[in-house]
Structure 1
């Protein structure tokens, strides 16, 4: 893994650091310096907030097919293992850029721009992905956020008393992930009661909880008392929530994309969850995290 200096930003309420390697949010802290993100314990998972591009999850056989040609594609794509250029650095804002290269063309035969913008505005972290097609053919792509928040949050509420509350009822069944990391044909019952998901390790014995689609565009995560995190994801129609049982984090993952259905051997353009950008077209995908008291 490449070691790169962290880029730090701050507001009067929050501070954060982003690693140019993967444009990964590495820590987020409150005004007293308390960590709001994972401890990255290697016994469970050392990730913190990887950027998922140009796929979310795993593709069948770890390859994508573009115009009948197969290209190797690692789980969650290559952006999380690539150094981004720092193109803007201010007291409360930093922007990171990745463009296609001969290396990326080996996996993904498209000309692209991917910018990640991080802004601290008071008690809110605003993360914006700018995805552009700089080529001359339509570009199929997926994108996902994957931040791991502290479970429990550092406000004295026991881990067992943490929950996620959606902004609307979520009665639908969930997708099931196979042992190979693909989307199973059968679904699983939802553990959400109305709008509330009470977090417990047993929920994650079979990998992530996956909503496709998710009706909500906002949720609150935290303990039954004390400060919470208000998380908004207005541009992503899917959601994953994941941890490893016993770990000190829970990932809230808004996605515009999803793993392959088991057995999928079709074209990348036809893959579920893909959106397509015309030449010179851009799309912005936003996630906001607000510390509320």
Structure 2
């Protein structure tokens, strides 16, 4: 089942499974979200919750109990409830239940709010801690943007001068190995060779906006003021690029498995709420 948002400038479709953005078109009917061809990657823009990336041994420890939780968590694979909708806004909800408690023993509600304003889509994540204990979590976005021309026609423009250093993965975990990526005037040309070792993972960027350039012309912008970390990813020969604002990332190779001590883990106090928002803008 899908929900549609529409105004004079653009149209958005959201799948109730995972509350996943599956389409964002301008008034000329140009599609900006990856089609989800499973030959390359069968998703469009999954939400990563309650973890981002991979846990060591696909598990974590809480109160001396071990829980198994697979890569990127479960939210992307379950049905959300549509709890409100207008022409330009929709709110989806996922509540802790018997199945989630088996792998993540916390009482939570996760809401996704999509708000369409002209050519801009605001996506807000709200985590409600319904429990009487601190709620540890990571959350991230994974939108894949369709690139209609050859991949090398595109580049990423950062809004700040960066020393672009990414962290390499070792068995899907964050290692100590880093790579420095050369930019010119804050622009990183896209080549498939950038992703030979999987995603580019940035722990600390100054930039809070990234613009995709198509033949030096601004094409689409992602703004992520509320997110501390970033992933950039594609697959070899795939006609898309993922720009992924994150709060959290995979375990490091040194992780002891304790969820409360996980590097970059976030917390919500009992009965409190956490909100973070990012924006996709068609240019």
TM range (shorter): over 0.9
Instruction: Provide the C-alpha distance between the structure 2 equivalents of 1:194 and 1:70, rounded to a whole number of angstroms.
Output: 47
Of 64, 68, 74, which residue of structure 1 is paired with 2:70? 74
Aligned pairs for 1:224-239 within 5 A: 224-239=215-230
> Quick check: 217-226 or 29-38, which moved more?
217-226
Query: Structure 1, residues 240-263: CA drift from partner, whole Å, max 9, x if none?
Result: 000001001100000000000014
Structure 1 residue matching 2:256: 3-state secondary structure: coil
The structure with the greater share of residues assigned to strand is 2
Instruction: Provide the C-alpha distance between the structure 2 equivalents of 1:137 and 1:47, rounded to a whole number of angstroms.
Output: 34
Instruction: Provide the C-alpha distance between the structure 2 equivalents of 1:261 and 1:122, rounded to a whole number of angstroms.
Output: 41
CA shift for structure 1 position 194:
4.6
Q: TM-score of the superposition, structure 2-length normalised?
A: 0.97
Structure 2 residue matching 1:173: 3-state secondary structure: strand
Of 252, 257, 275, which residue of structure 2 is paired with 1:261? 252
CA shift for structure 1 position 22:
0.4
1:241 aligns with 2:232: yes
Instruction: Provide the C-alpha distance between the structure 2 equivalents of 1:263 and 1:272, rounded to a whole number of angstroms.
Output: 10
Aligned pairs for 1:86-97 within 5 A: 86-97=82-93
Query: Structure 1, residues 97-143: CA drift from partner, whole Å, max 9, x if none?
Result: 00101110001111111000011100100100011111001111110
Number of the residue aligned with 1:113: 109
Instruction: Provide the C-alpha distance between the structure 2 equivalents of 1:81 and 1:99, rounded to a whole number of angstroms.
Output: 14
Structure 2 residue matching 1:21: 3-state secondary structure: coil
Number of the residue aligned with 1:177: 169
Of 39, 50, 55, which residue of structure 1 is paired with 2:51? 55
CA shift for structure 1 position 175:
0.6
Of 127, 134, 138, which residue of structure 1 is paired with 2:130? 134
Superposed structure 1 runs of 4+ greater than 6 Å apart: none
CA shift for structure 1 position 273:
1.3
Number of the residue aligned with 1:201: 192
Number of the residue aligned with 2:147: 151
> Quick check: 243-252 or 261-270, which moved more?
261-270
Query: Structure 1, residues 2-47: CA drift from partner, whole Å, max 9, x if none?
Result: xxx1111112111111011001001111111111011222111011
Instruction: Provide the C-alpha distance between the structure 2 equivalents of 1:177 and 1:134, rounded to a whole number of angstroms.
Output: 34
> Quick check: 91-100 or 257-266, which moved more?
257-266
Number of the residue aligned with 2:38: 42
Q: How many residues align?
A: 283
CA contact (8 A) 1:209 1:242 kept: yes
Of 135, 146, 156, which residue of structure 2 is paired with 1:164? 156
Instruction: Provide the C-alpha distance between the structure 2 equivalents of 1:225 and 1:203, rounded to a whole number of angstroms.
Output: 19
Instruction: Provide the C-alpha distance between the structure 2 equivalents of 1:192 and 1:258, rounded to a whole number of angstroms.
Output: 24
CA shift for structure 1 position 266:
3.2
Structure 1 residue matching 2:106: 3-state secondary structure: coil
Instruction: Provide the C-alpha distance between the structure 2 equivalents of 1:226 and 1:167, rounded to a whole number of angstroms.
Output: 15
Q: Tell me how large the CA RMSD over aligned residues is.
A: 1.3
CA shift for structure 1 position 222:
2.5
